[in-house]
């Protein structure tokens, strides 16, 4: 089964997540490599779910705005989707779909 390169990027980024538990029992999570990616929720499970959703949206916004994304565990989306045409195709689900097996990282 093939995996999408974006899925690998998200999964590797999530592996770098840091969580804190507040005195009131709620949780916060962030991914230090991805500036601004933070979530808060009543439970750790909900926080993980929310953090993943925030990360996915953040990646798409950064790509859309043409901002460089951090390289995570040797996965460099900037090399894969570096030019604006490739980013446009990715965001509109046009062109070739990039699979993790097609890249060495």
| CATH code of 36's domain | 3.30.160.250
pLDDT at 59: 94
Q: Is 6 exposed, middle or buried (0-12, 13-18, 19+ CB in 10 A)?
A: buried
Domain with 91 in it: 5-102
pLDDT at 87: 52
Please state the domain count of the chain: 1
The long-range contacts involving 92-101, CB below 8 angstroms and separated by at least 24 positions, are 97/4, 98/4, 98/5, 98/6, 99/2, 99/3, 99/4, 99/5, 100/2, 100/3, 100/4, 100/5, 100/7, 100/8, 101/2, 101/3
Averaged over successive runs of 10 residues, the pLDDT of the chain (105 residues) comes to 82 98 98 97 98 96 89 88 55 47 50
pLDDT at 5: 83
The predicted model scores a pTM of 0.78
């Amino acid at each position: 089964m093939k995996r999408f390169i974006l899925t690998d990027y998200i999964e590797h980024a999530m592996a770098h997540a840091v969580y804190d538990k507040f005195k009131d029992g709620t949780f916060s999570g962030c991914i230090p490599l991805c500036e601004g990616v933070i979530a808060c929720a009543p439970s750790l499970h909900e926080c993980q779910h929310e953090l993943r959703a925030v990360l996915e949206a953040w990646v798409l916004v950064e790509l859309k705005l043409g901002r460089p994304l951090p390289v995570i565990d040797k996965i460099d989306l900037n090399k894969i989707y570096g030019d604006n045409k490739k980013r446009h195709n990715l965001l509109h689900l046009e062109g070739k779909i990039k699979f993790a097996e097609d890249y060495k990282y």
